Amino acid sequence: MQREVVLTKEEESLLLDILFQQNYASEILAVELTDIENGLKQTDVMQYKKITR
């Protein structure tokens, strides 16, 4: 069972900084795009455009 995690703006910012510093953010986006393009994950056009910007 998944539970929702609520982060403060400061925590969100810190998490994003760490993800980018460790190159995890780029890897996550690459995998997400691959899954969408290979039909493994469904998404709408707007979400896809946001990811590929």
Instruction: Give tens-digit pLDDT for 1-53.
Output: 788 999 999 999 999 999 999 999 889 999 999 999 999 999 989 998 888 88
What number of other Cβ atoms are within 10 A of residue 25's Cβ?
Answer: 15
**Local structure of 43: helix, strand or coil:** coil
Q: What letter does residue 39 receive in the DSSP assignment?
A: T
Give the pLDDT score at 50: 87
What number of other Cβ atoms are within 10 A of residue 37's Cβ?
Answer: 10
